[in-house]
Structure 1
Amino acid sequence: MRMNLVLELLDVPGQLVSILEPISGLGANLVTVIHKRDAKNENGKIPVQLTLEGEKENLNRVIDRFDELNISIIEKDGYINKELISTILIGHIVDRDVRDTTDRINALDGVFVVGFDIKLDGEKKSTALINLEVDYGNKQIAFDEIEKICQEKDLLMINEV
């Protein structure tokens, strides 16, 4: 069986070598490695594409080992891993067209609203908790784009830490 992975590694000496030991040590074979040093993200990490070959159980053990080592797998066999994030909006959310806000967030590349809870307080400002599913590694990009929408609509945005 073959498996294609895209990992995210810090761009420091020894990182690439550190991922090779779990592969061979758990009975999988490395078929290809593409180390994209020129594609560093805002966290100083780079994507490394791997093709592995082996028995399904061995490949699953490699995935488990990467998780134990806190090695981020951003894509597996063409499927992009997602992260769940939350943000809070405060202001006249309903008056500023909640549907437009939601549609604009959903229109962002790799971002999808999976939960939207709003607390209304009469004529006062309302509060909304928005839960989002974001392509792995795009959390800050999503927050930055949502912040632009909030500035336009005069809403306060509070992000998770």
Structure 2
Amino acid sequence: MRINLVLELLDAPGQLVKVLEPISTVGANLVTIIHKRDYKNDDGMVPVQLTLEGEHEELKSVVDKFEELGISIIEVDGVVKKEKITTIFFGHIVDQDLRDTMDRINALDGVVIVAFDIKLNGEEKSTALINIEADIGLRKAVFDKIAEIAQEKDLLVINEV
């Protein structure tokens, strides 16, 4: 049996080796690997395509190990599994309990904040750019949670279209 995966890895030394180790420990075989360093996104992440061969349980174990290690699996056998969502908060973000905002978004199943950049302007209102990775089909739930938080904390929110 074969499985084709597209992973997203930080373009840093040791990341590719981190991915290869679980494959050998469960007894699966690496058929092909394409490491696309020319396609780095704004977060410094690059896609890595893998074709693996093995028994069903071995391949499932590899995927499970990747998830345990926090390795983002973007695509499995041509089916997209994750999507990127970007939103901007504007207002008194720090004064409105930044940790609570992040925890409430991360509390959604299948959703994780992968980057949070804040621009402070002294005592004035701040701007936060939030990059979220979510399982396919959760976009509306993410936007609903963001709208709820923004309304409660009196923040302006700008979601991607």
The TM-score range, normalised by the shorter chain, is 0.5 to 0.7
> One-letter code of the match for 1:78?
G
User: Where in structure 2 are the equivalents of 1:92-131 lying within 5 Å?
Assistant: 114=140, 129=148
Q: Render the CA deviation track for 1:40-77: whole Å, top value 9, x for unaligned.
A: 01110100000000001000000010011111101110
Q: Report the Cα distance in structure 1 between the residues aligned to 2:86 and 2:15, rounded to whole angstroms.
A: 31
CA RMSD of aligned residues (A): 3.4
Pairs within 5 Å for 1:80-159: 80-83=80-83, 114=140, 129=148, 156-157=156-157
SS at match of 1:57: helix
**Residues 111 and 156 of structure 1: CA distance in aligned 2, closer, same or farther (over 3 Å):** farther
TM-score of the superposition, structure 1-length normalised? 0.55
Segments of structure 1 that go 5 or more residues without pairing to the other structure are: 90-109, 118-127, 131-154
- The 3-state SS of whatever aligns with 1:6 is strand
Distance 1:129 1:83, change over 3 A: farther
Is 1:52 the counterpart of 2:52? The answer is yes
Q: CA deviation at 1:81?
A: 1.1
SS of 2:70 mapped into structure 1: coil
Number of equivalent positions: 107
Distance 1:7 1:35 in 2: 10
Whichever residue aligns with residue 140 of structure 2, its letter is V
Runs (4 or more) in structure 1 with deviation over 6 Å come to 84-89
Q: Give deviations 1:114-152, integer Å, cap 9, x for gaps.
A: 3586xxxxxxxxxx559xxxxxxxxxxxxxxxxxxxxxx
Q: Residue 112 and residue 14 in structure 1: after superposition, are their counterparts in 2 closer, same or farther (change >3 A)?
A: closer
Q: Larger C-alpha radius of gyration, 1 or 2?
A: 1
Equivalent residue letter for 2:66 = F
The residue that corresponds to 2:15 in the other structure is 15
SS at match of 1:47: strand
Q: Unaligned 5+ residue runs, structure 2?
A: 90-135, 150-154
Letter in 2 for 1:27: G
Distance 1:24 1:158 in 2: 44
Aligned amino acid, residue 24 of structure 2: S
